[in-house]
């Protein structure tokens, strides 16, 4: 079933367009600052966007980070500085996993955690 956008509020559409036009995932405070929308309103609208399968999220350091559901990318997050970097292309072979588990994969999200190259340089 394809997500529907026509019934979304102006605020929800603003948030969705911001996420679609931003390379990296954003947390609610970043969305609030960039879109000039109060944080409580961001959370209410993000909830609707997630229910409509238009936005996905992942948790890191106590924050949820949001990105468009149709964007297939994995992320690396630095445990030292909190940098979020895209990891492309996807190296996961869904067909092989499906064969090994005897099931059907509908979606996947992969978040790698570690130390980024800038933080590694600082440690030397």
The binding site for Fe cation consists of: 72, 108
Residue numbers belonging to the annotated binding site for Zn(2+): 78, 81, 116, 119
HEC string for 99-114: HHHCCCCCCCCCEEEE
Residue numbers belonging to the annotated binding site: 72, 78, 81, 108, 116, 119
State the helix-helix crossing angle for 28-35 and 39-51, rounded to 10 degrees: 110
CA 80 – CA 22 distance, rounded (Å):
23
CA 82 – CA 68 distance, rounded (Å):
20
What share of residues in the chain are helix, strand, coil (percent, to 5)?
Answer: 40, 20, 40
Q: Cα-flanking dihedrals φ and ψ of residue 24, to 5°? A: -110, 155
């Amino acid at each position: 079933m394809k997500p529907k956008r026509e019934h979304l509020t102006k605020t929800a559409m603003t948030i969705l367009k911001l996420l679609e036009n931003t390379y990296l995932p954003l947390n609610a405070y970043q969305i609030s600052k960039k879109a000039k929308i109060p944080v409580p309103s961001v959370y209410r609208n993000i909830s609707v966007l997630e229910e409509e399968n238009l936005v996905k999220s992942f948790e890191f350091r106590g924050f949820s980070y949001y990105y468009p559901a149709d964007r297939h990318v994995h992320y690396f997050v630095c445990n030292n500085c909190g940098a979020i970097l895209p990891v492309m292309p996807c190296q996961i072979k869904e067909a092989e996993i499906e064969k090994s588990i005897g099931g059907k994969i509908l979606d996947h999200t992969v978040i790698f955690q570690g130390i980024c190259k800038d933080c590694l340089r600082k440690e030397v």
